[in-house]
Amino acid sequence: MRLNKYISQCGIASRRKADELIESGRISVNGKVITSLGFQIDEDKDVVKFDGEKIKAEKFVYYLLNKPKGVVTTTLDEKNRKTVIDLIETKSTIFPVGRLDFNTTGVLLLTNDGDFANKLTHPSNKYIREYEVKLNEELTPEIEQKLLRGIILDGRKSRFITMSFPKKEKRDLVIVSTEEGRNHFVKKMFDLVGLSVKKLDRIKFGDFTTLNMRRGEYRKLTSHEIKNIKKV
């Protein structure tokens, strides 16, 4: 088995993040630091350590969380703030799939299955993210069309796939959909057209939604939901 796959099965990180750990010299096999990304191991015989601590594969778990405000989307926080991991009661070592900002709320998946996380976040799979956005002022039809046609963000053309208004008479509340998983993508898009985001809630990620879930509430994914992602 490739070393990065084994690391992901141990719940440390996705395969892509595991590659970064390997390259930075934080992984050893049988006492020897490994920096080769294609390194193969025998999971039944070899001893793999992460930062000097032995790791082993564990049973995969999958959670859907309705993330509240004021919680950090990370496994550890240097400022000792509450993290999304603190909200899940589990003995498994889990990590969030992607990121939501400190004050952004809504759909967040957590797991210890690196392959599952990679399938959800890899750009080629084009999972749709849907957000409800509260703006500082109303959105004009002209700016709406501009955001749908596309603008240059971080050196490349970027756009929202759809935009709609839950309250037709109030255009400062808008629902946008995008395939983009870049950090702060929604906020940056509105910043470029002179608008600021006052409130951001991810209401959908692929087929996952937090409909009828309270803020801070979580549930395990069903076997059907897991299979639908794994067959992609």
DSSP codes, 185-197: HHHHHHHHTT--E
Write down the pLDDT at residue 15.
83
Structure token digits, residue 51:
């930062």
CB 113 within 8 A of CB 59: no
Q: What percent of the chain has pLDDT over 70?
A: 100
Q: Which of 101, 113, 172, 191 is catalytic?
A: 101
**pLDDT digit string (tens) for 122-177?**
989 999 999 999 999 999 999 999 999 999 999 999 999 999 999 888 999 999 99
How far is CA 97 from its chain centroid? 3
CA distances from 143 to 91, 170, 193, 211 (A): 48, 15, 7, 29
Report whether pLDDT(11) > 90.
no
Distance CA 144, CA 163 (A): 8
Q: Give the residue from 171, 172, 231 showing the smallest Cα distance to 206.
A: 231
User: In the numeric block, which tokens belong to residue 163?
Assistant: 């935009």
Which 3 state secondary structure label does DSSP give 162? strand
Give the integer Cα–Cα distance in Å for 127 and 148: 18
Alpha helices in the chain (DSSP H): 3-9, 15-23, 114-121, 141-149, 185-192, 223-230
Sketch out the chain's domains with CATH numbers: 3-54 (3.10.290.10), 62-123+212-230 (3.30.70.580), 128-205 (3.30.2350.10)
171: its two tokens = 């255009």
Tell me, what's the pLDDT at 71? 97
- Identify the sign of the CA torsion 228, 108, 98, 144: positive
Burial of 109 (0-12, 13-18, 19+ CB in 10 A): buried
Would you call 201 a catalytic residue per the annotation?
A: no
92 in Cβ contact with 61 (< 8 Å): yes
For the beta carbon of residue 6, count every other beta carbon within 10 angstroms. Answer: 25
What are the strands of the beta sheet with 53-54, ordered from one edge? 32-33, 27-29, 48-50, 53-54
Residue that has been written with the tokens 């951001």 in this structure = 200
Spatial distance between the Cα atoms of 182 and 195, rounded to a whole number of angstroms: 19
pLDDT tens by residue, 42-92: 988 999 999 999 998 878 899 999 999 999 999 988 899 999 999 999 988
